Amino acid sequence: MLIVLSSERELENEAHQINKLFENDLEVLHFRKPTLGLEGYKALIQKINPVYHDRIVLHQYHELGNSFKCRGIHIQERLREGLEKALKIYVNDYKEKGLTVSSSFHSIKDIENCSVDFDYVLLSPVFESISKAGYLGKSFDVNGLNQFVIGMGGINENTLQATFDLGFKGVGVLGGIWNTKDSLKSFKTIYEKLKIIKK
């Protein structure tokens, strides 16, 4: 499973770049725009071809999931911890609406201690982050976990094999796409290498 996370900052011709990724077989986009208000968030989604909305997972404004017919929602760590006992109800409510529900983690222990059944979880940082300076990798070994764990942090074509060797079932890419000169070219390189690894 290959997930691309949108850049936190606003990019020039961003919707066009995202559409190009989808046209070239991007399976899942995690849509994360913490600097945008509700209207700006909606406006950017509306610029993405509606045929691809069912591949988008929302990090903010989860209530838009059904109106845009999105793939799912993602619960960031702060929200997950803030919901406390209401977390299961929150997750089940969105699952009953037909949406996938995922969440972010930064330790194996937290994944093991979480009683909620997410469709998949993101664990970071696996390697030194490309998008966040000084964010050092922890080389998590998740071979012993039953959950569907996606590795994030320092993921590019050069770290793919090592990520799967550590037991991850998929990868999430951020800086490996958006911190390069050509986002589409970088995506294609990662996508093609991933196909070879997963054969």
Q: Running DSSP on this structure, what letter comes out for residue 7?
A: P
For the segment 52-61, the average pLDDT, to the nearest whole number, is: 98
For the segment 181-195, the average pLDDT, to the nearest whole number, is: 95
Residue 56 has phi, psi (to 5 degrees) of -100, 135
Q: Per residue in 80-111, pLDDT tens?
A: 999 989 999 999 999 999 999 999 999 999 99
- Determine the angle formed by the axes of helices 38-47 and 14-23, rounding to 10 degrees: 50
Backbone dihedral region for residue 157 (phi beyond 0: left; psi -120 to 50: alpha; all else: beta): alpha
What sign has the CA pseudo-torsion 173, 14, 79, 133? Answer: positive
pLDDT, position 54: 98
For the segment 64-92, the average pLDDT, to the nearest whole number, is: 95
Q: Per residue in 117-168, pLDDT tens?
A: 999 999 999 998 777 767 788 999 999 999 999 999 999 999 999 999 999 9
Give me the residues paired with residue 73 across strands.
58, 101
The whole-angstrom separation of Cα 78 and Cα 85 is 14
Domains along the sequence of the chain with CATH: 2-197 (3.20.20.70)
**pTM for the predicted model, two decimal places:** 0.94
pLDDT, position 198: 78
pLDDT, position 102: 98
Tell me the pLDDT band of 15, cut-offs 50, 70 and 90: very high
Q: Per residue in 189-198, pLDDT tens?
A: 999 999 998 7
